[in-house]
Amino acid sequence: MRSKLTILKLGGSVVTEKSKPLTPNTKAIKRLAKEIRKADSKPLIIIHGGGSYGHPLAKKYNIMGGFKKYSQRFGFSETHEAMVDLSSLIIRSLLECGIPAFRFAPSSFVITEKGRIRMFDLKALVKALEIDLVPVLYGDVVFDDELGFTILSGDQIAAYLAVKLDAERIIMGLDVDGVYDSDPKRDPSARLLSELSLKDIEKIMERVGGSRAPDVTGGMMGKILELKVAVEYGIDVLIVNALSPNNIYKALIGEKVVGTRIRR
Ligand code: ATP
Ligand code: IP8
């Protein structure tokens, strides 16, 4: 039987101003905390992305490509600290709204191998869920068996946890209404795909072509590639626009909301 666990991923495009380095979207963070409180969905794990906190630093120091020179160690630490800062802003807002949020820094208990999760110590996380804490994780720098270190995305964490903890659903909050047949920010005629099956995903991949490795594909394609694993396992995924007020609330309470539903 499913645990009823919900995994909520708040994209970096929502919790930060993605085009302005180290700029949070404080208004969205505070509103989302209120929506999450109002929905009172339990058990819940919140994961957030890097946006303008993690990505510019990770790029500057080429953390994704692995440990090549000693000077990168400062970038490794700075990227992590930026994520801790962003996470603190989010956790503070959640606490102020009466949500018992608790930080789990992935770099402390996850090891990857060529960017894919190899070891993930779930014990403390499970203990936290047992007492109704709301774990907050995020895309982070991580130690990697092959690369020395790399970047682990919040999307990979979301799919991994959903499968390992037998979650009921993953809700992804983004700055667009869902998955379109092309990037809606570049193509004004892009159409929203409100329902997607695994077969549809295969077709979309074929059309996009080339970018099959989730750790190098950015934006929506990388996301879908990561989520595919959870969908294959039977977990429902709902992608909604978290910049539109009440969408996350509605999604959490199971009310109909504009978005993309991905099912097996
Ligand atoms: P982060 O990685 O910082 O957490 P995020 O998860 O919020 O960010 P992005 O990685 O920025 O989200 O991906 C969302 C972006 O993907 C949208 O803003 C959109 O411009 C872009 N995109 C590309 N192709 C598509 C598509 N087919 N449908 C919808 N969005 C798309
Ligand atoms: O934004 C990446 O996580 P994502 C986090 O979920 C960093 O892809 C540190 C760039």
Domain ranges of the chain: 6-263
What local confidence, expressed as pLDDT, does residue 82 receive?
A: 98
**Å from CA of 14 to ligand 2 middle:** 13
- Confidence category of residue 217, pLDDT binned at 50, 70, 90: very low
Q: Which residue has its alpha carbon closest to ligand 1 atom 23?
A: 183
Give the closest residue to 12 by CA, choosing from 76, 59, 71, 77: 59
Whether pLDDT at 202 is above 90: no
Q: How far apart are CA 142 and CA 66, in angstroms?
A: 10
For the chain, give the mean pLDDT.
93
83 CA to middle of ligand 2, Å?
9
CA distances from 168 to 164, 171, 189 (A): 11, 10, 34
Predicted local distance difference test score (pLDDT) of residue 213 = 31
- Among 9, 18, 153, which is best to mutate for testing ligand 2, by the most ligand atoms less than 8 A from CB? 153
* The pLDDT of residue 214: 32
Q: Given this model, what pLDDT does residue 222 score?
A: 84
- Considering the entire predicted model, what is its pTM? 0.95
Is residue 175 predicted with pLDDT exceeding 70? yes
Pocket test for ligand 1, best of 157, 176, 205, 258 (most atoms within 8 A of CB): 176
**Angle at which helices 198-208 and 219-233 pack, to 10 degrees?**
150
Question: Is ligand 2 within 6 A of the CB of residue 154?
Answer: yes
pLDDT at residue number 92: 98
The Cα-based distances of 30 to 18, 63, 90, 126, 246 in angstroms read 17, 30, 8, 27, 12
Average pLDDT over residues 239-247: 98
Confidence of residue 182 (pLDDT cuts 50, 70, 90): confident
Q: Are 219 and 183 in contact (CB under 8 A)?
A: yes
Residue 69 CB coordination number (10 Å): 8
pLDDT-derived band at 249 (thresholds 50, 70, 90) equals very high
- Whether residue 31 is predicted with pLDDT greater than 90 in this model: the reply is yes
Confidence of residue 206 (pLDDT cuts 50, 70, 90): low
Percent of the chain scoring above 70 in pLDDT: 94
Atom of ligand 1 nearest to the CA of 220: 16
- Burial annotation 147-160 (CB, 10 A radius, 16+ → b, else e): bebbbbbbbbbbbb
Please state the φ and ψ torsions of residue 62, each to the nearest 5 degrees: 50, 50
- Neighbour-count burial for 206-221, b at 16+ CB within 10 Å, e otherwise: eeeeeeeebbebeebb
Q: Indicate whether 91 pLDDT > 90.
A: yes
User: Could you say which architecture CATH assigns to the domain 6-263?
Assistant: 3-Layer(aba) Sandwich (3.40)
> What pLDDT, in 10s, does the model give residues 74-85?
999 999 999 999
Mutation pick for ligand 1 pocket among 10, 29, 182, 185 (CB with most ligand atoms within 8 Å): 185
- Range with the poorest average pLDDT among 93-97, 107-111, 212-216: 212-216
The mean per-residue pLDDT over the stretch 248-258 comes to 98
Q: What is the pLDDT of residue 7?
A: 98
End-to-end Cα distance, the chain: 18
Cβ of residue 140 lying under 6 Å from some atom of ligand 2: yes
